[in-house]
Amino acid sequence: MLRTTVGCVGVDERDEEQEDEGEEDLRDGGVPFFVNRGGLPVDEETWEQMWRHVARIHPNGEAIGKRIRGASDLPKIPTLSVPTYQPTTSIPQRLEAIQKYIRDLQYNHTGTQFFEIKKSRPLTALMDIAKEMTRESLPIKCLEAVILGIYLSNSMPGVERFPLSFKTQFSGNQFCHIVLGMHSGGRFGALGISRREDLMFKPLEFRTLADLVQEFEGAYRGYWHTLRKVKIGQYVSHDPHSVEQIDWKHSIIDVDKLTKEELRRELERHTRDMRLKIGKAAPPSPTKDRKSNMGSPLRNPGSPMRRNSRIERRPSGEKKVLDPKQPPDMNGYQIRV
């Protein structure tokens, strides 16, 4: 039910997947946290493990846990209302409302992540987790905030969203953090949550992606962190039922190996790649009726595209021979999925 995750401390390329699951930590470097794999409500084993972990990492040790668990007059935490908008509400105002909702959920300091986020899951499964977040109103960490931000902005077709993650170094240790990059009206911004106020929300006021990244780099410098690597994903589909996987790291940029001008060129190249993807329509997601009739719901959605690509790659000198046979009997025609 539980898995210990360390915030990118001592990782190398072989630990890339573990690194992707990491969480930024600017306080003491590499404090591990657990992931609740048992769902909600939290089972007894996970619950007790969480409090033992709190006793280990909190400055007041076991006293803080005993004081909270033994209190009988704790206030009831209300369920937050998901942001709603008027038709005239501007895009920047909607994003600010989403950020306020994420901020009001508060950062999770317990050391146990309540919602399990597997990056390999299709978008529709991750959106189901986001719905559960809105029902439970529990504190969240940065990766959960990215999924929630995607869910809450799906109804804004004029806003493109993409994962934007950072690896930094401080005092010999490495740390990871992720936000949801935003692009609308020719300007970039970000949604997210962090222990630090200037490492999450950025309004839509940055002219280029490079300007946005440099803004985060400057914030990290204020905490004596050196930005080592930036990972940027592709734009995320607005279809909540899409079976596509999120492209978390389309571009991986080693910041410490590039000059500022080289970094800017790399980020401009990635911006062009993202714009090109907008023009490529993704295959429609199956409807509920079709999903129930599909024999293999886990089939890779890219398979039909690969079959078409083999036809497109036919050498130009090879001519397709027309079949002189009579047209087949359409009564026996079957659609194979």
Global pTM exceeds 0.85: no
* Helices 44-57 and 62-69: angle between axes, nearest 10 degrees: 130
Q: What is the pLDDT of residue 293?
A: 47
Longest dimension (CA), the chain: 86
Interval 102-135: pLDDT, tens: 999 999 998 899 999 999 999 999 999 999 999 9
Query: Which residues, 6+ apart, have CB-to-CB distance to 200 below 8 Å?
Result: 99, 103, 142, 145, 179, 190, 191, 192, 193, 194
Mean pLDDT by 10 residues, the chain (337 residues): 43 39 40 84 92 88 88 88 94 97 95 94 97 96 97 95 96 92 97 96 97 97 96 96 95 93 95 78 50 45 43 44 50 45
Q: Spell out the domain ranges in the chain.
A: 83-276
Q: Can you list the alpha helix ranges (DSSP code H) found in the chain?
A: 16-20, 44-57, 62-69, 91-105, 123-136, 142-152, 209-221, 260-278, 288-293, 303-312
Position 277 scores a pLDDT of 76
| 194 within 8 A of 142, measured Cβ to Cβ | yes
Q: Could you tell me which residues are beta bridge partners of residue 162? A: 181
Q: With CA atoms as reference, report the closest residue to 160 among 194, 212, 214, 204.
A: 204
- Residues tagged active-site: 142, 177, 194
* pLDDT reported for residue 279: 52
What's residue 134's pLDDT? 97
Give helix 260-278 / helix 209-221 axis angle, nearest 10°.
130
